[in-house]
Amino acid sequence: MIEEFTNRKTIRKYTEQEVSDDLLYQLLEAASHASTTGNMQLYSVIITRDKEKKAALAPTHFNQKPFIGAPVVLTFCADYNRFNKWCEQRKAVPGYNNFLSFTTAAIDTLLLAQNFAALAEHEGLGLCFLGTTTYNAPQIAKILNLPKYVVPVTTITLGYPAEDPELQDRIPVRGFVHSESYHDYDFEDIDRIFDHKESLEVNRQFVKENKKETLAQIFTDIRYTKKDGDHFSKIYFDYIKEQFEF
């Protein structure tokens, strides 16, 4: 199992082979045994196979190739709607219209999604998490008809692999694990932790092609800019406040 996790790869190209409903629901059933706050299971999953619905959703994910080519797309949503309705129908008054409740539901949702991902890969499927879900949540919600107290958190594209990409680099475990208390990083720590990532030829070439001085500038100036972060943060936070009515 350790070797399987160590060698996992994000898959962005899929064969045309369909993922059966039986397998999909079996994986989701098993994944639902992930840890969950108070056993409330504050999540819902929207399965998208329909070509027209996928075409409508594609622009919200910037028409990424993994989305376009995936046989199945799963949108994982933080969901207090179902639990609130249960409370109300059982003469209980829910008070979950606050940021903490959203955060609790989001944690539940991501635990479910990661459990599902591990199980799916173990069964020979390939997948890709799409961070764009939080960028365009209002549009995704409209297309998927999400009611109040339901917010999309992450999306997984799923299918049988049509590629075998190289393993992605990771910083060493001692670069992110702290014993007993947080050890802040000094200059030498940062050099040591990121040395391997910066030395890889693919990353060095990427820096050169983009006419940058360092790999860090690829992240700050091109991939994840402050301008984009501020813009999409406001959209997502405003949407969460609207959905959870706080």
| Structure confidence by residue, pLDDT tens digits, 199-235 | 999 999 999 999 999 999 999 999 999 999 999 999 9
CB 57 within 8 A of CB 133: no
The closest of 28, 16, 26 to 159, measured between CA atoms, is: 16
pLDDT score of 32: 98
Rounded-to-integer distance, Cα 184 and Cα 208, Å = 31
Q: What's the pLDDT at 139?
A: 98
Average pLDDT over residues 161-177: 96
Taking all residues of the chain, what is their mean pLDDT, rounded to a whole number?
97
Are 53 and 85 in contact by the 8 Å Cβ rule? The answer is: no
**Residue 165: which pLDDT band, with cuts at 50, 70 and 90?**
very high
Mean pLDDT computed over 42-47: 98
Sheet holding 126-130, edge to edge: 43-48, 72-79, 150-159, 126-130
Supply 57's token pair.
């959703």
DSSP notation for 130-195: EGGGGTSHHHHHHHHT--TTEEEEEEEEEE-BS--PPPPP---GGGT--SSS-----HHHHHHHHH
How high is the pLDDT of residue 49? 97
> Which of the 8 DSSP states describes residue 14?
B
- Would you place residue 84 in the very low, low, confident or very high pLDDT band (cuts 50, 70, 90)? very high
Name the helix (H) or strand (E) containing 47: strand 43-48
Closest CA to 38 of 107, 110, 90, 119: 107
Residue 194 confidence (pLDDT): 98
Alpha helices in the chain (DSSP H): 2-6, 21-31, 51-57, 65-69, 81-89, 99-122, 137-144, 187-199, 201-209, 215-218, 226-244
Chain position carrying tokens 């949407």: 239
Query: If one looks up domain 2-165 in CATH, what number appears?
Result: 3.40.109.10
